[in-house]
Chain A
Amino acid sequence: MAPTSYYVALSGLLFAIGMIGVLTRRTAIMVFLSVELMLNAANLALVAFARSWGDLTAQTAVFIVMTLAAAEVAIGLAIIVAIFRKRETTNVDDLATLKG
């Protein structure tokens, strides 16, 4: 049985990789994929803590996070498709018209 700290360290690594992806990739879809990676890292840490404390509350929270991620992906991809129809691009640098 691997200790909790190993799982949390792996979760931290996955989260950092996801953050690098969000910052460096240019396509909106790739940014979304990296966000999914970060959500999964958070889920992994939650499940590890659930075992550490012997409490199912964190596992329930993971279930709700998964549902939220599904809703977020449905809306986000719909927005990307709508923008692509209008602007013919998914490059996040070209879509910076709301930057103020």
Chain B
Amino acid sequence: MIAFMILGALALVGAIITIAAKNAVHAALGLVGTLLSVAGLFASLNASFLAATQVIVYAGAIMVLFLFVIMLLNANQPISGRDPVPFVRELAGIGGVILAGALAVLALTYRDPRPLAEGAQALRGGGAGPVGEVLLTRFLLPFEAVSILLLVAIVGAVALVQRPVPQSDGVPDTEAVSLPLPGTEREEVRA
């Protein structure tokens, strides 16, 4: 209970830093704090394999990728200027409060189908063994589909950031190319 309070408060602080920070690097670091707190919450929910995966994949790999791109694009300065949509901040705040309220009401009216200790015991600690057992029997098809998706994502990312290949049309790139007018085409070619 105390662990939930501390980790939950840290997660909320990190989330607020993420959306409020002026500097994008600070926002990314706030998100790292949230991800680590969520990993701790996973551990407190009998999901030790997911806690480890959260730290390695999310807080490690994905956030490093984010920081890399932020620094590569030099995008750590905020964009200022007038909002194209009027009252967007107010509307987002009202929408967020309504959504949070609705979800909180739903959460607090939720009743567990059986005692928590019993359910926690059925998870067998959520280690790599039990999770892998479910993953490779009941979820075999989604598992394989995800592996294909990752392959497609890697190939797509490489293809997207590739520089365009120069066309070998015999025209030097420094020479200005002007299309001839329809009537003068033949003379231009001969000349």
Chain A residue with the shortest CB-CB distance to B154:
A74
- The answer to whether A77 touches B113, judged by C-beta atoms less than 8 angstroms apart, is no
Given the complex, which residues of B lie within 8 Å of A70, measured CB to CB? 57, 61-62, 150, 153
Main secondary structure of the interface of A (DSSP, over half): helix
Residues of B within 8 A of A17 (CB): 12, 15-16, 18-19, 96
Chain A residues whose CB sits within 8 angstroms of the CB of B124 once the complex forms? 56
Min CB–CB distance B167 → chain A (angstroms):
18
The reply to whether A56 and B130 form a contact with Cβ atoms under 8 Å apart is yes
Known: A9-B108, A29-B70, A75-B160. A51 touches B123 (CB 8 A): yes
What B residues does A55 contact at CB under 8 A? 122-123
Nearest Cβ in chain B — how far from A41, in angstroms? 9
B107 near A9: Cβ-Cβ < 8 Å: yes
The residue among B27, B31, B47, B143 with the most chain A CB atoms within 10 A of its own CB is: B47
Once the chains bind, are B24 and A79 in contact (CB under 8 Å)?
no
Indicate if the CB atoms of A54 and B114 lie closer than 8 Å. yes
Q: Are A63 and B53 in contact (CB under 8 A)?
A: yes
- Give min CB distance, B60 to chain A, whole Å: 11
Chain A residues 56-73 with CB under 8 Å of chain B are 56-57, 59-60, 62-64, 66-73
Nearest to A4 among chain B residues (CB) is B112
User: Would A50 and B123 be within 8 Å (CB), given that A14-B11, A17-B19, A75-B157 are in contact?
Assistant: yes
List, sorted by A's number, 15 A–B pairs whose CB atoms are closer than 8 Å: A9-B107, A14-B11, A15-B100, A16-B99, A20-B95, A27-B24, A30-B27, A32-B66, A37-B18, A52-B113, A54-B114, A59-B123, A66-B57, A70-B57, A82-B161
